[in-house]
């Protein structure tokens, strides 16, 4: 596990931290950055592809190596959407980005049909928040197109969701026998599914799933112990940006979590994160580059 080439770009693991920018094509993102706006009725939403392209271009100009495009909110209590709705949201954007920007595109979906259409239109990576457990066909789609896959750990359960208007949703009371060991074991279960479908090990990236079925304290522990996830032998993506564990720790809403996100990112990089998934450019690019300068001096 030394490098991975995606869309003609080689990611050299350990040399620097790569940056994934978040494009939420939803009306109900937890972070308040959803790019769909309400139209005439609460059930109708419109998407301005030009505005999305402008935001994506800004991300790339300010350091994004990867753009992660999602059409369904994964916040606690979010409304599920059909594959048809998801495709309608993401495909025009993926087409536009693929035609206008030279950047790696990731489709954030757990649905095989959505992933396949996105890959056909120019996406290069599949980012599955359910680690190939939600749709039994998704692993085969990834293998068919020979693309990298991000496998996230997820124990989210609406029965354990607690939502506060100012701070948003968090999970409470989801049992773990041993947090890190349970996460490691379940991530390796996802790896087994991937390999059984024919996905090679060098195409697999792991994500411990910060904010997905973990309490505030458990999220804090996972960030601090990320090096133990890295020891599984795969590159690791960390996504703490604006998450509720920061909000509940600092008692701050999503739009006031820059400093908390910066702290989590810095610790995550020190513990071995290879990719950081963020909302806020260029602020987090600066944090990431400064942290790299401090902790990766021997790699450059």
Q: Are strands 9-12 and 3-6 parallel, antiparallel or unpaired?
A: antiparallel
How many CB atoms are located within 10 Å of the residue 226 CB? 22
> Which residues on adjacent β-strands are paired with residue 161?
171
Q: What is the dihedral of CA 213, 82, 101, 61, to 10 degrees?
A: -40
Catalytic residues: 243, 277
Helices (H) and strands (E) in the chain, counts: 10, 14
Helix (H, G, I), strand (E, B) or coil at 151: strand
Encoding tokens for residue 206? 């792991």
Longest dimension (CA), the chain: 56
Phi/psi at 216 (5° precision): -55, -50
Q: 251: exposed, middle or buried (C-beta count within 10 Å: 0-12, 13-18, 19+)?
A: exposed
Encoding tokens for residue 148? 């990298």
DSSP character for 23?
E
């Amino acid at each position: 596990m030394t490098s991975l080439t995606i869309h003609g770009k080689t990611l050299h693991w350990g040399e620097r931290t790569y940056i994934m920018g978040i494009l939420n094509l939803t009306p109900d993102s937890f972070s308040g950055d959803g790019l769909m706006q309400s139209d005439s009725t609460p059930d109708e939403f419109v998407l301005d592809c030009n505005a999305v392209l402008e935001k994506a271009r800004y991300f790339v100009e300010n350091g994004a190596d990867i753009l992660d495009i999602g059409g369904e909110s994964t916040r606690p209590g979010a409304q599920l959407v059909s594959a048809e709705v998801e495709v309608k949201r993401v495909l025009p954007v993926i087409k536009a980005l693929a035609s206008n920007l030279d950047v790696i595109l990731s489709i954030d979906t757990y649905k095989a049909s959505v992933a396949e259409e996105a890959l056909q239109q120019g996406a290069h990576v599949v980012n599955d928040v359910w680690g190939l457990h939600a749709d039994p066909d998704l692993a085969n789609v990834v293998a068919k197109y020979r693309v990298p896959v991000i496998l996230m750990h997820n124990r989210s359960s609406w029965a354990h969701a607690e939502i506060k208007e100012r701070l948003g949703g968090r999970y409470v009371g989801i049992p773990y026998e041993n947090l890190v060991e349970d996460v490691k074991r379940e991530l390796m279960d996802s790896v087994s599914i991937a390999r059984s479908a024919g996905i090679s090990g060098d195409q697999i990236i792991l994500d411990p799933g910060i904010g997905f079925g973990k309490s505030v304290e458990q999220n804090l522990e996972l960030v601090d112990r990320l090096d133990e996830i890295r020891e599984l032998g795969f590159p690791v993506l960390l996504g703490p940006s604006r998450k509720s564990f920061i909000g509940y720790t600092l008692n701050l809403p999503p739009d006031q979590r820059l400093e908390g996100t910066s702290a989590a990112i810095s610790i995550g990089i020190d513990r071995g994160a290879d990719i950081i998934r963020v909302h806020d450019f260029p602020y987090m690019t600066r944090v990431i580059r400064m942290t790299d300068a401090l902790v990766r001096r021997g790699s450059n």
